[in-house]
Every structure is written in structure tokens, then in C-alpha cells.
Amino acid sequence: MKHVLILGGTTEARQLAAALVELPGLRVTSSLAGRVAEPRLPAGEVRVGGFGGAAGLADWLREHGVHTLIDATHPFAQVISRNAAQAAASVHTPLLALRRPSWVPVPGDDWHPVESLAAAAELLPRLGRRALLTTGRLGLGEFAGVRGVHLVARSVEHPDPPLPPDLTVLLERGPFTLDGERAVFREHRIDLLVTKDSGGAATTPKLAVARELGLPVVVVQRPAAPEGVRVVGTVAEAVAALR
């Protein structure tokens, strides 16, 4: 049995695990960071928690006889992606990165690309007064200094401080619908959207609603994959690469 380790937590990671467990001769283990109290568990074996950096992950790969490592984490999970690249190289384990394609603006979009959450926070007061933040709970501290803008932050779990002083938290988990997003924008009188370029279809309705309403969208650009790592954009491509 060839052992495949998936660094997961994303929809694509769960889809990939479901596809791989159906292939003969594969043992599939998914690793979840453990930051969500009740995660959606993928098919196959599951481990939860960190590895202790690149060295710890390298030890785990060696100890458990991992044949192939697949980094299917969130496109903004830079630390684990960097650790995966270093660990795989150190123990000569093939590494594949599964990254959903970036979003691309279409006619009618008013996008304002920025390089970081800090840059997004600095830009907000110039663009709106009631902003929907869909950047994740772990980055809300970057907006703690924002003044003059009411922030509506969407999160799977309640965020930890530091938090912005003028904040409403919506505890919601995607995928989201067009009608649902329209209701959120209407109820909270949203005039500005802030998001990361996460890609994928599960959270695109918010972009469509912002386009419908002619609202500005601050888009935090995703970091590049570690140098030298092969990147595929779909689950089918990842399965084909393994075959």
C-alpha cells in the first residue's frame, strides 16, 4: 500500500480524499490543523493537530512511510505550505500542491487589489462605511485599528482578541447562496466587501452581489506557492498526477 498524506481542511482536500480512497493500493491519511472545533471529516484516516514545524513533519513522513505528500490547504496557509516544501525535500518525498484557481474580475467588478490584510485595513475608510469582512477570524487583529467603519466579520467560530471596536460577528459556514448573500448585504447595509483571493465556487456569491450593487471590493492577493513545488488546480488533476 502506498501511503498518501493530505494536508487538508479545505473542500478540495475532502473531495480529493474521497476520490483517492476509491483507488486500489492507496492508504490515505488527511491531516487537519485542529483550529475548528467540529471540522467536516474527510474519508480515510484522519489525524488532527500540528507536526511541530518542518522537522516534525519530516519525521512524520519518514516514520509513517509516506509515499506522496499533497498540500491541499487554504491558499493563504503560508506556514504549513512552507513547512511541507521543506519537509518533503529533506526526506525526498514527492510533493504536490492542490490550489483552486484564483478569482478573475469580470465586467462590472470594482476590485481594489492589496498585498496584505494590513493594507486592506488601511484602505477601508477611503472606500466605505459598512464593510463585510470575509477574511477569516485569525486575521481580524489586523483591523483592530480601523476607525470610522463598521465591520461585519463572517467566521465559522467566534474570533479571539484583539478585535476592531466597531464589530458585528456573523457565525456562518459556507457554501453560501446568492439570495443568502443579498440578505446579508441588505440587513447590514453593506457598502464595501473585503475578501481574500481564496478562489473556488463556494464563496463567489458575495462577489456577484457586490457586482450587482456596484460596490467596491478589496481583494487580498494570495501568496505564491513555495518555489519548485508542482501545483495543480483541480481534484481531477491531482488524481491524474498520482496515477
Question: Within 10 Å of residue 162's Cβ, how many Cβ atoms?
Answer: 12
Q: Do the two domains 2-101+223-242 and 110-220 of this chain adopt the same fold?
A: yes
CATH number for the segment(s) 110-220: 3.40.50
CA distance 213 to 29: 44
How far are the Cα atoms of 59, 74, 214 from residue 52, in angstroms, in the given order? 10, 19, 45
pLDDT at 164: 93
Low-confidence ranges of the chain (pLDDT < 50): none
pLDDT at 157: 87
pLDDT at 37: 64
Q: Where in the chain are the domains?
A: 2-101+223-242, 110-220
Q: Which of these CATH numbers, 3.10.310.30, 3.40.50.720, 3.40.190.10, 3.40.50.620, describes 2-101+223-242?
A: 3.40.50.720
What is the DSSP pairing of strand 192-196 with strand 216-220?
A: parallel
